[in-house]
Amino acid sequence: MNKKLISVVGPTAIGKTKLAILLAQYYKTEIISADSRQFFKEMNIGTAVPSSEELAQANHHFIQHKSITEQYTVGDFEREAIQKLSDLFKVHDVVIMVGGSGLYVNAVTDGLNNFPTVDPSIREDLNTELAEKGIEALQMKLKQLDPTYFDKVDIYNPQRVIRALEVTIGSDTPYSSFLNKPKVEREFKVLSVGLKAERPLIYERINKRVDLMVEAGLLDEAKDLLFYKEYNALQTVGYKELFKYFDGEWTLEFAISEIKKNTRRFAKRQLTWFFKNKDTHWVEYDYDPKKLLPEIDNLIVNLKDG
């Protein structure tokens, strides 16, 4: 248990990549990405994948290593990430993990919860309902059946909503009741470091990032992916709004405003998720590296088991 994983978390657009690279360079180690949107090679601008310059500053893993046409679950990620960590810890005492996808972060640090096996036809029925009635119908159903999870999940992510509903319906037990079970024992200690800022500043940074994405060619990227819009990987903020524009449902101006709004909502849910971890060491987004690095060193030295 002398191996340490520093998990950098926080809302989107807060500067997690920058901090992860700083820590990777300081500890002369490598980075594992736990950002589920950055796994896919066809999605670049809209997922804020680290630039080539950033990727060159430290070795990154799980960045654009899959295709949107491949099925890739959080269970797959947990298995592959733990194996990668096992390899990295053979040569490094400290490894960095960074990402804003709370479920994927927890899969590595705490392990996935044990969910019951349910009838596959339930998912088929839910997918049919999604196609016929839209995500709103499923949102209302989840709110009725499991209000606890409804308040936590990204309700605009159909894959997450359907997963919660199929478990809830198939087991006749709220999905949330299977969460927060005792975590698995890992062969490493975890230090969670969170970046924070006042909400108005976070929202301002999000709005600016979206504008920069549009300037960088987000429309062309989304247009190239229009044929694949039904794939789960593309049921995400930044793409689904532009698909509505391409389909003639929305104006471009409204689509961009919706990207900003939905990203702000996503950031709010990220904060809710990460604040649940009482052991996270929160740092202001405009930290002083000269002060922060010794602080992290001290936390690493005094890191407790479990």
Residue positions forming the annotated binding site:
10-17
- The 3-state DSSP class for residue 156 equals coil
> Contact, 67 vs 42, CB < 8 A?
yes
Tokens of 66: 């899959």
Paired tokens of 5: 């994983």
Evaluate whether 157 touches 176 at the Cβ level (below 8 Å): no
Rounded CA gap, 192 and 300, in Å? 10
What is each CA distance from 191 to 92, 217, 254, in whole angstroms? 16, 37, 41
What whole-number distance in Å separates Cα of residue 93 and Cα of residue 84? 14
Are 258 and 236 in contact by the 8 Å Cβ rule? The answer is: no
Going by the DSSP 8-state scheme, the letter that residue 40 receives in this structure is B
- Binding site membership for substrate: which residues? 12-17
DSSP 228: G
Q: Which residues are annotated as a binding site for ATP?
A: 10-17
- Residue pointed to by tokens 């994983």: 5
